[in-house]
């Protein structure tokens, strides 16, 4: 049973297993990233050549590129058009469902908002952040049954393994995957500007983020 379960587990191995945006690894220099995004149809904003504009997931967006030590560590995708509280709630929940239905992502919780959630009150009075976090599996699929099996064998004896239920094994595999790809976060939040709302998304490559090495 254990071997059969491992055989069904597919993970990805590649360039450090980094987060990708539209199939482009979040890394390299800013100028390289701009060129790659232009090849996807995005154009420079008339107001700022470092900001790209275009359509993403059916919505007009502005794309900002964040670097650390001249390496891209984040792609920020912000809605170009602001909307009402009701509309942003629908957009937020739609995105949650899209991510949850996408097999490239892992998540810890259902982040969808209830119909009676008062976003305006939550943000202005309670300083609440409405956000959802997902973890991206790289795009090139390769079986890692041997790697997962090695992890299990280092934690359990053969007798203990034989006593594990299918659900317990799957949970262990899930936790292993989550730990392995925790630096590949893709998350989004509701942002507000003078009573109007929009969604801001972040594709983060935590491998390139500052970790105090310059202190």
User: For residue 7, is pLDDT > 50?
Assistant: no
Average pLDDT over residues 38-57: 96
30 contacts 50 by C-beta, under 8 angstroms: yes
What gap in Å lies between CA 108 and CA 111, rounded to an integer?
9
pLDDT tens by residue, 153-194: 677 777 887 788 878 877 777 777 777 778 899 999 999 999
Average pLDDT over residues 48-75: 96
Q: Read off the DSSP letter of residue 58.
A: T
Where do the H-state alpha helices sit in 119-191? 119-124, 145-155, 158-163, 166-180
100 contacts 107 by C-beta, under 8 angstroms: yes
pLDDT grade for 103, boundaries at 50, 70 and 90: confident
pLDDT grade for 149, boundaries at 50, 70 and 90: low
197: three-class secondary structure by DSSP = strand
- φ, ψ for residue 118, nearest 5 deg: -95, 95
User: For residue 9, is pLDDT > 70?
Assistant: no
Cα angle for residues 151, 19, 44 (degrees, 5° grid): 175
The model's pTM: 0.82
Res 152: pLDDT: 66
Res 138: pLDDT: 67
Residue spans of the domains in the chain: they are 2-207
Best CA proximity match to 1, nearest among 164, 159, 154: 164
Q: Which residues have C-beta within 8 Å of that of residue 53, sequence separation ≥ 6?
A: 42, 43, 44, 45, 60, 61, 62, 63, 80
Share of the chain above pLDDT 90, in %: 63
Res 146: pLDDT: 55
> 59-68 and 71-79 as β-strands: parallel, antiparallel, unpaired?
antiparallel
Alpha-carbon radius of gyration of the chain? 20
What gap in Å lies between CA 147 and CA 123, rounded to an integer?
44
Share of the chain above pLDDT 70, in %: 85
Q: Assign residue 57 a region: left if phi > 0, alpha if psi is -120 to 50, beta otherwise?
A: left
């Amino acid at each position: 049973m254990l071997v059969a379960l491992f055989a069904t587990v597919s993970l990805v191995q590649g360039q450090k297993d980094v987060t990708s945006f539209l199939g482009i690894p979040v890394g390299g220099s800013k100028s390289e990233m701009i060129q790659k995004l232009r090849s996807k149809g995005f154009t420079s904003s008339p107001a700022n050549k470092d900001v790209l504009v275009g359509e993403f997931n059916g919505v007009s967006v502005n794309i900002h590129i964040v670097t650390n030590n001249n390496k891209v560590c984040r792609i920020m995708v912000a809605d170009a058009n602001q909307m009402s509280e009701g509309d942003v709630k629908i957009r937020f929940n739609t995105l949650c469902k899209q991510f949850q239905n996408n097999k490239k992502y892992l998540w810890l919780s259902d982040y969808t908002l209830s119909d009676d959630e008062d976003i305006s009150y939550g943000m202005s009075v309670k300083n609440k952040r409405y956000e959802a976090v997902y973890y991206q599996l790289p795009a090139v699929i390769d079986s890692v049954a041997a790697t997962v099996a090695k992890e299990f064998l280092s934690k359990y004896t053969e007798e203990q393994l034989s006593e594990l239920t299918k659900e317990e094994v799957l949970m262990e595999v899930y936790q292993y995957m989550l730990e392995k790809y925790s630096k590949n976060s893709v998350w989004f939040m509701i942002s507000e500007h003078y009573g109007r709302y929009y969604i801001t998304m972040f594709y983060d490559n935590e491998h390139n983020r500052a970790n105090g090495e310059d202190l």
